[in-house]
Chains A and B, each alone.
Chain A
Amino acid sequence: MDDLTSLLEAASRGDHEAFDRAYALVYDELRGLAHAQRARWEGQETLNTTALVHEAYLKLAAWTGADWNGRGHLLGMASRAMRQVLVTYAERWQAVKRGGDREHLPLSSDQLPGVAPQAAEETLAVHRALERLERIDPRQVRVVECRFFAGLSIPETAEAVGVSPATVKRDWRLACAWLRRELAGLAEAGVQGPS
């Protein structure tokens, strides 16, 4: 593995390529961990994203030196990777054509993910909204990644994003209000079916 520490250090200095490579590592790690978690606990109801992010972080941090104050970056990247993992899952469901009254959905007799496309739609809507927000307020997007996708606490988010907890609180509050408005009519859009 490349020297993660140096990649992260370079990334924190603004080196985009370094960032990308570092991120790729983080993402791979996280995705693997997510798969493993799902395989381990059959019939579990939710993916424990927080645990995953922490697990990824720990694994990756082991490759870096101790006393490394880039921890925040790593946590942030892991959160971002978590977003991507969830979005990927959502996109898979999205590809299953839905909408209309006479559709066939794949079902086993005990699992009827009739609502899965709905949840997928939501996830993707948040994702797309964040993409829009990225152009205006990237910091807020980071906060949302940590809070929403990774499920990190306020202090953890503060560390990941590199701001004070008070700032995180305010950013998160505004983000929630903003996202809520952005997602208005989500159900309706969903019900009409993909155009």
Chain B
Amino acid sequence: MSPEGWDRIRTLFHAALELPEPDRRDFLRARCGEDRETLAEVEALLAADRGAAEYLATLAERSRRLAALPPPPNPASPGAGSVGPTLAPGTLVSHYEIEALLGSGGMGVVYRARDVRLQRTVALKFLPPWLAGAGHARERFLAEARAAAGLEHPNICPIYEIGKTRGGQLFIVMAHVEGESLRDRIARGPLPPRRAVEIAARIARALGCAHAHGIVHRDVKPENVMVDAGGRVKLVDFGIAKLADAAPASPGATRGTWAYMSPEQVRRGDVDPRTDLWALGVVLYEMLAGRRPFCGESHVELAHAITHDAPPPLRTLRPGLRADLERVVMRALARDAGRRYQTAGELEDALRTHGAGRSGRPPMARTAVMAALLVAAGLLGWREYFARGRAAEPPRAAAATVRAAGAAPARSVAVLPLTDQSGKPEDRYFSDGLSEDLIIALSQSPELRVIGRESSFRFRSGDLDSRAIGEKLRVAHLLEGSVTRMGDQVRLRAELVRTSDGSTIWSKSYDRPYRNLFALQDELAAAVARALQARLLGGEHGGPGPTDRPPSGSLEAYNAYLEGNFDFQHYNEAAFRKAIDHYRRAIELDPSYAAAWAELSYTWIRLGVGYRGGAELRRIYDSADVAATRALALDPNLAAAHRARGAVMGYAAWDWRGAEAEYRRASELAPTSAREKSLQGIVEAILGRLDYALKLKREALATEPLYARGYGQLANVLLGLGRYDEARSALLRGLELQPTAAVFHAWLAETEILRGDTAAARRQALQEPSPSWRRFALAMAYAANGDAVRADSALRMLIARSANKQAYQVADVYALRGDADHTFQWLDRARRQRDPGLTDLLFDPLLLRYRADPRFDGLLREVGLSPRESGTR
């Protein structure tokens, strides 16, 4: 450039500045004529003009700060690394112990450290003292850091806290992600389209969550995307440091890596959520092409490319890429911000709908089939007692009973719990409730196989590959998505994914007023059913679904009901109490809310049966009775109401025949509900109708394949039928699903005893986590082994500790030991204590050896299990 040329530029620059902005272009064009270089230069300078002074002021300030620092130690030799004292491993900073230096970059130094209080590994990122410096900038930094720390999302690396050293130095404490960055991955070459789209979609999801909270990341780039060992995508390093960096006068003056800056950011420093989306577009391009969309040898060139050039078409770099996908990327990189995807949700939708390519990935290996059965050897004499027409089961059959084989039916779907985009854990009941109601609504279609709640909910979105989930649940489709309630609006996004290849066959976003929630749910269910080419017979069977809703239409009542359901699922004493409170509130808000009355009643029963005794138990049963009666009066066709009445009749009044009629009616009213079917199965077993119970249980498990408790119940029925090997498989499966479950090991111990493997029985007994059940199991295992001393001691311990709560179990032990008198003494005691174990009489193999004893019949009569009804049906 010559001085004359510069002169011209300068003159034009100033002249243009005097004109109103819209006129500048024409003016310059006129004045420059053919001289495109000058024109370009002046335009670029004009573009850079805004905020430039502030930008320079910031630089100057930093320069001055730099000068104020004590000088660094002299390097040993030019170009050599200067190794000075870093924070040494073992140094304690606040309550974190430094482990290693992870790296340093433009905006700070990062260490791996150990939180000595919580015993977990974290990453500490130190900010320079003078960046997070005085007053205004520091306040702003802290406020934004707090906001970012509140983000909770599976694809966002959490920020735990902002710490301060003794010297007042600030540092950010983040989760430590063990894995590689996307940068490392891209360095190895372009990614398969499906994976690239997956990753981009997850990033979009994370951004959606952040944007919903008003946080813009500002520094989306492959270096800030981590992929952990499980393949999970985590967005890190929300550009908080950049906030401390920006001069207050021009918030946009960030120092982002220019390759990922949007045109408007380059020109004017504008930053808004679309800034992140642009950067994501660049990342996506880079993942697919292996190179960036915009390049330049100098940074002026790069900036020019971003603002003026179109990126090379993806398909020239990657032939065979789907046209749809290329379109998505190109739209994300449209120079005009108005033409791009306006929200993270839109971009994610587009990716899901168009992005998935057919990949030639081989099917995932099946998880190892459970160990085949051991041939029962060394039968003990008393096993003959339990031979109820039992033939030797071939090993494969036993496992097959438990694990259904075959491909997934085409019209099958699992509804994964919708992600709650608000990021607040206390709102999970809402998204879970909606997911559950969707399951119920879809279940009404006789043409659809819908996986039950227990099993679907094991897979919160974002964890596993859709193919893997499809295999575990044996479904051809997944419904996943997210929901947020923001003020008066509900934003819901759902997509239907084919599990065989992860492709999306349908997706939709809804943005509706909250007060139209029910209509939205109906619409969603209908749309999904349509997409699956199934008919929804809304409410024809009168099953649960729309009947889950309060007649008054009160959304508050509905919410309370959902909260009750959510708490109930945890299935322990505290959870039941909370659920009861919520149901009561629902009823307060809408006294005609039959479903709430029904679940209230049922929860009382569960609370009573599991955790109460004596006078309090009677009061609880009264409450349950009142609630069930009310529910039935309000809605005689509500399945849950009949089930609740059945529970009251059975557990409170020991009228099991009456109870069975109610449970059966509940199943009839809700034929596709795995829950009702399973519960009816229990009652059938109680009545000794074991084959029928087995059938019901199996049907229930077909749509709830991952329901651990269900396998425990199945095992009990199988034990009653003398099918010990199958029972063992079922229990092992239950443990596989829920390794910490109580009682399973104890039952396994019993099963092993019945199979004749006393060594295994002892091993299982020792593994039982629940202390009272472990005592029971050990008492049995030692007795079966013939270890008299230990057996006696264990029995004494059981009696000493649990005489009032486990009388039935004591009876069981005596039965195993062959002591009839003591068995019946303790059974009588159990009866007086209303021990719920007595419901097992007709399928408990240990007690059934005394079937012929007249005392047995007497007992049956007293507990409402009239002898006429016993035996298989």
| Contacts from A to B (Cβ < 8 Å) | 34, 38, 44-49, 85-86, 89-90, 92-93, 95-98, 100-116, 118-120, 122-123, 126, 135-137, 147-149, 151, 170, 172-174, 176-191
> Which residues of the partner chain A approach B73 to less than 8 Å between Cβ atoms?
106
Contact (Cβ within 8 A) B128 A109: no
Contact of A97 among B81, B128, B165, B298 (CB under 8 A): B81
What 6 A-B pairs have minimum CB-CB distances, sorted nearest first? A185-B299, A106-B84, A110-B167, A176-B52, A47-B67, A101-B103
Contact status B56-A107, CB under 8 Å? no
Report yes or no: A98 in contact with B169, Cβ–Cβ below 8 A: no
20 A-B Cβ contacts within 8 A?
A45-B133, A48-B64, A86-B64, A96-B72, A96-B82, A103-B81, A104-B86, A106-B83, A107-B84, A109-B91, A111-B69, A112-B109, A114-B104, A119-B63, A136-B3, A137-B10, A170-B14, A172-B53, A181-B300, A188-B299
Q: What's the minimum C-beta distance from A195 to chain B, rounded to whole angstroms?
A: 11
The stretch that binds A, out of B228-236, B253-261, B417-425, B517-525, is B253-261
Q: Measured between alpha carbons, how far is A47 from B70 in the docked complex, in Å?
A: 11
Residues of A with C-beta under 8 A to B300:
181-182, 184-185
- Given A95-B75, A107-B86; A101-B102 close (CB under 8 Å): yes
| Chain A residues within an 8 Å CB radius of B64 | 46-49, 86, 151
B850 in contact (CB, < 8 A)? no
Residues of A within 8 A of B303 (CB): 181, 184-185
Compute how far the CA of A140 lies from the CA of B49 in the bound complex, rounded to whole angstroms: 16
Report the minimal beta-carbon distance from B165 to chain A, rounded to whole angstroms.
6
Please state if A136 and B1 are interface contacts (CB–CB under 8 Å).
yes
B105 contacts chain A at the CB level, 8 A cutoff = yes
Q: Is the CB of B72 within 8 A of A116?
A: yes
B61 within 8 A of A: yes
Q: Tell me how far the C-beta of A28 lies from the nearest C-beta in chain B, rounded to whole angstroms.
A: 17
- Inter-chain contacts of A137 with B (CB < 8 A): 3, 6, 10
Is B464 interfacial (CB-CB < 8 Å)? no
Q: Which residues of A contact B168 (CB under 8 A)?
A: 110
B106 touches A (CB below 8 Å)? yes
Cα distance A49–B72 in the bound complex, in angstroms: 20
User: Is B258 a contact partner of A104 (Cβ separation < 8 A)?
Assistant: no
Q: Is the CB of B257 within 8 A of A112?
A: no
The answer to whether B66 touches A90, judged by C-beta atoms less than 8 angstroms apart, is yes
Contacts of B74 in A (CB 8 A): 95
Contacts of B78 in A (CB 8 A): 95
The answer to whether B302 and A185 touch across the interface, beta carbons within 8 angstroms, is yes
B530 contacts A by Cβ under 8 Å: no
Check B63 against A174 for contact (C-beta < 8 Å). no
Q: Are B69 and A116 in contact (CB under 8 A)?
A: yes
Known: A92-B72, A97-B75. A110 touches B63 (CB 8 A): no
A147 to B63, CA, bound (A): 13
Q: What's the Cα separation between A92 and B129 when bound, in Å?
A: 19
Bound CA–CA A173/B259 (angstroms)? 26
Query: Out of B48, B80, B85, B259, which one reaches A108, CB within 8 Å?
Result: B85
Please tell me which one of the listed residues A38, A170, A180, A189 contacts residue B55 in the complex, with CB atoms under 8 A apart.
Answer: A180
Bound CA–CA A100/B298 (angstroms): 21
Q: B749-787: which residues lie under 8 A (CB-CB) from chain A?
A: none
- Whether A113 and B60, one on each chain, are in contact in the complex, defined by CB atoms closer than 8 angstroms, is no
Contact with A along B476-512 (1 / 0, CB 8 A): 0000000000000000000000000000000000000
- Return chain A residues, CB-CB under 8 Å to B130: 45-46
Q: Let me know if B108 is at the binding interface, CB within 8 A.
A: yes
B103, A103: Cβ atoms under 8 Å?
yes
The interface residues of chain B lying within 8 Å CB-to-CB of A47 are 64-65, 67-68
Say whether B536 faces chain A, with CB atoms less than 8 Å apart: no
By a CB distance below 8 angstroms, the chain A residues around B788 are none
A92 touches B71 (CB 8 A): yes
Distance of A187 Cα from B18 Cα, bound (Å):
33
Contact assessment for B302 and A184 in the assembled complex, using a CB-CB cutoff below 8 Å: yes
- Please determine whether A123 and B299 come into contact, CB atoms closer than 8 angstroms: no
Contact between chains at B13 and A174 (CB < 8 Å) = yes
Q: Report chain B residues within 8 Å CB of A114.
A: 104-105, 107-109, 126, 128
B256's nearest neighbour on chain A, judged by CB, is A187
Query: Is there an interface contact between A104 and B101, defined as CB atoms closer than 8 Å?
Result: yes
Task: A115-B106, A135-B3 are known; give 4 further A-B pairs, CB within 8 A.
Answer: A38-B68, A95-B74, A95-B78, A96-B75
Minimum distance in angstroms from B545 CB to a CB of chain A? 55
The contact of B81 among A104, A107, A186, by CB within 8 Å, is A104
- Asked if A93 contacts B52 (CB within 8 A), the reply is no
B641 interface residue per 8 A CB criterion: no
Q: Most B CB atoms within 10 A — which of A90, A93, A114? A: A114
Known: A95-B78, A118-B106, A122-B59. A174 touches B66 (CB 8 A): no
B405 at the interface (CB under 8 A from A): no
Query: Of B13, B56, B106, which one neighbours A148 at CB under 8 angstroms?
Result: B56
- Give Cα A187 to B609, complex, Å: 66
Residues of chain B within 8 A (CB-CB) of A110 are: 129, 165-169
Which residue of the partner chain A has the closest CB to B105? A191
Tell me if A45 and B68 are in contact (CB < 8 A): yes
Contact yes or no, B258 A184, CB < 8 A: yes
Which residues, 296 to 328 on B, are CB-close (under 8 Å) to A? 296, 298-300, 302-303
- The answer on a CB contact under 8 Å between B63 and A177 is no
Q: State in angstroms the CA–CA spacing of A136 and B85 once bound together.
A: 45
Contacts of B44 in A (CB 8 A): 181
Chain B residues, CB < 8 A from A101: 102-103
**A103, B83: Cα distance in complex, Å:** 8
A191 contact set on B, CB distance < 8 A: 105-106, 257
Tell me, in angstroms, the Cα distance from A181 to B83 when the chains sit together.
35
Q: Across the two chains, which residue of chain B brings its CB closest to A50?
A: B64
Are B106 and A173 within 8 A (Cβ)? no
Flag if A116 contacts B128 (CB, 8 Å).
yes
B165 and chain A: residue at smallest CB distance: A110
**B112: min CB distance to chain A, Å:** 12
List, in ascending order, chain A residues with CB within 8 A of B71's CB.
89, 92
On chain A, the residues within 8 Å of B367 by CB distance are: none
Contact B63 A45 (CB under 8 A): no
Collect the chain B residues with CB atoms within 8 Å of residue A89's CB: 66-67, 71
Give a binary string over B1-28; 1 marks a CB under 8 Å from any A CB, 0 the rest.
1110010001001100100000000000
A124 to B152, CA, bound (A): 41
Flag whether B87 is at the interface (Cβ < 8 A).
yes
Whether B203 is near chain A, meaning CB under 8 Å from some CB there, is: no
CA distance A14 to B64 in the complex (A): 32
Residues of the A chain whose Cβ atoms lie less than 8 Å from the Cβ of B129: 45, 110-112
Given A97-B81, A106-B82: A186 and B255 within 8 A (CB)? yes
Q: Is B131 an interface residue (CB 8 A)?
A: yes
Q: Are A34 and B72 in contact (CB under 8 A)?
A: no
CA distance A104 to B85 in the complex (A): 8
B46 in contact (CB, < 8 A): yes
* Distance between A163 CB and nearest chain B CB, rounded to angstroms: 14
Q: Which residues of chain B from 269 to 320 have any CB-CB distance to chain A below 8 Å in the complex?
A: 296, 298-300, 302-303
CA distance A96 to B82 in the complex (A): 6
Q: Do A45 and B134 touch across chains, with their CB atoms under 8 A apart?
A: yes
B61–chain A nearest beta-carbon distance, Å: 7
Q: Please name all residues of chain A whose beta carbon is closer than 8 Å to the beta carbon of B59 when the two chains form the complex.
A: 122-123, 126, 148, 183
Closest to B102 in A: A101
- Distance in angstroms between the alpha carbons of A90 and B101 in the assembled complex: 25
Q: Chain A's nearest CB lies how many Å from the CB of B790? A: 59
Which among B63, B165, B266 is the interface contact of A149 at CB below 8 angstroms? B63
Contact B63 A86 (CB under 8 A): yes
Which residues of B sit under 8 angstroms from A93, Cβ to Cβ? 66, 72
With an 8 A cutoff between CB atoms, is B45 at the interface?
Answer: yes
Q: How far is the CA of A92 from the CA of B73 in the complex (A)?
A: 9
CB neighbours (8 Å) of A102 from chain B are 101, 103
Measured CB to CB, the nearest residue on chain B to A93 is B72
Residue of A nearest to B58 (CB): A122
B388 at the interface (CB under 8 A from A): no
Asked if residues B53 and A176 are in contact (CB atoms below 8 Å), the reply is yes
A156 to B523 Cα, complex, angstroms: 71
- The one of B80, B104, B106, B298 that contacts A105, using a Cβ cutoff of 8 Å: B104
A189 to B106, CA, bound (A): 11
Closest to B181 in A: A101
